[in-house]
Structure 1
Amino acid sequence: MHALVVDDDPTTRTQLRALLGSWGYDVLEAGDAAQAESALARRDAPLLMIVDWVMPETNGVELLRRARSLPEASPLYVIMVSGKHESAAAAYALESGADDFVSKPLDPVALRARVGVGARMLAKSEALQRYAEEMSRLAEARAAEILHADRLATLGQLAAGVAHEINNPTTFIAGNAELLERVWPDLERALAQAGDARLVAISAEVPAMLAAVRGGAERVRRIVADLKSYARKGSSDPRERELANVNESVERAARLLGSRFKHDVRLELDLGDISACRIDPPTFEQALVNLLNNACDAVQGVAGATVAVRSRQRDDGIEVVVEDNGAGIPDAVMREIWNPFFTTKPPGKGTGLGLCISQRIIAEHGGALRASNRREGGARFVISGVGS
């Protein structure tokens, strides 16, 4: 720690320099206020200052006031030294901003004790500053998570409304397609009796068309159901969880990202025989969607891009593994991936909250989320201990 001795008397400065140096301090000297202000303006400014009250031009009290008024002043513990012995002098010095007051002639034993108090106060101040910064960072992260959750809730409400609007015409289409399939044999016989070869040829394709319409309507219905399930408001309260199969959540999450697995990325599902457990499907699926989405991003441009998901029943609960064959996670990135706002994606492509939120969701389900690199290349994320 740097200490600054400010005194116009060279003998006193030498004495204090020797004492502070023997106690382990790096000592700077100033013979007047101007030199002291220069020392305090350094990047590695001293944290402890022992200053004489009576000096020519600018006295110690005025120097202290200037030091305290600096806009970006570092924490500074000030011990005022004076030949005055009156209690009024000590009170005035302390009221002016000094942290301690000692009278001349200096007693090395007492001075060392007072300097030690200053060092402890500075250490506590530094610890409090670090704590305040960490609390500020966590508050900022939590605020961003709340904003993110609020946006998701708004999107969920919109999605539920859109799903309802889509569901009605889809039901109408599916119902009419089913009706046409039932009456089609009669229509087909009537067309055959009409003797129009062109109509007969076209009619041969109609059953496949109707089946495709009905299949498409069923697919839309399933997507709508998945979207409504995903849009439901989740809960972190264990008492509100429902008995559900994690495999169904994996399948729903995969279907929600179906467009990403259509062309360039192959999805492999290996879902084992697992028991139902109490989970909150909307939030659990949010964590799965985040992991699958990240895996898809990781394999962009990779030949034979593959994302694999497997589930197994373990002694300590259900395990879900999400793997990809991308480039893997560099060590420097691995150390940061769980931190809020950390992202390797370009601006506008990611919030840096996905993994942080996913880890918290899994922890709220009594499990753990870990990341590692696969020996054969790519990343592996393991959800374990769910439903234990």
Structure 2
Amino acid sequence: MKLFECQSCGQLLYFENTVCVRCGHSLGYLPGQAQLSALQPAADGRWQALGDLDHEYRACANAELGACNWMVPAESQDAFCRACRLNRTVPNLNDPARVAHWRTLETAKRRLIYSLMRLGLSVRSKDDDPQGGLAFDFLSAQESDQPVMTGHADGVITIDLAEADPVARERMRTDMTERYRTVLGHFRHEIGHYFWNDLVARTAWLEPCRALFGDERADYGDALKRHYEAGPPVDWAQRFISSYATAHPWEDFAESWAHYLHIVDTLETAQAFGMTLRARAGTDPVLSMEIEFDPYRTANFDTLVQAWVPLTAAVNSLNDSMGQPDLYPFVLAHGVIEKLRFIHRLVRGE
């Protein structure tokens, strides 16, 4: 994620900010320019963006609920921004607790859409493309007579509202013996399933994908049942990024996709802060790093890995110093790196 700067006073800004704390300007994100902009009022409820003086904008309709800071071109007929137009179902917003959890989901979703747009991937809504478009259902088990399962089916990503509750999420993480479980991680994983359908199925990428991840035609239900009953293979860490990735080739692909997004977005944040690393102990050159490239645009996948390994070693050690779990509790074995390399090539269309 990039850092931003107020066009009025130069204050450092972050992606979710809505007001500049120094000069008081309202802020809005301009997805077409990938920038957070200071705003000044114009006529008829419109805003002039200091980051784009040639156009006027309106706030997304979800701004009224404190759930979005993205802007809509003033001439657009849409009430919602590009990210919120992807919503098909939202929870009952008469309950303040559910509104708070929904806002958490929206924050993670906008970070996901930011990454997809930075990678140049198509983000089409079901309204624009009923067959191949994307939609989100944010569901609460308390509002349904059916169990709510986070997952993907036919371009619709369902997220259980309980994932936004830190207590419930930690309980699920513990029950499922996961080392890592975040709201943003769910979004990045499930969008991997969507892009498998969009970029791999029925394309020239299908056979190379099968050669690396396995044959997705294996019965999915049986594979999951076997995974939950028997667990992963003993040597899973040598070939998979997580134990869940061993369940089925689709899950291996989605987990690899999620980790690719983890890597490029976190490296962009490190680059935005000008981070460099040179370990002052040992002689291993792998523990030095300087990010003088755009992680979302670099063609060389090895450049990403060479920056990622020392960065995660450093931030994991920092977390240890605070008594916190590792920020990135995963190992990039050779087989895992090759799967991530495939995702890199797929995203770039190489």
Question: Under a length normalisation based on structure 2, what TM-score does the superposition of the two structures give?
Answer: 0.26
Structure number with larger C-alpha Rg: 1
Question: Under a length normalisation based on structure 1, what TM-score does the superposition of the two structures give?
Answer: 0.24
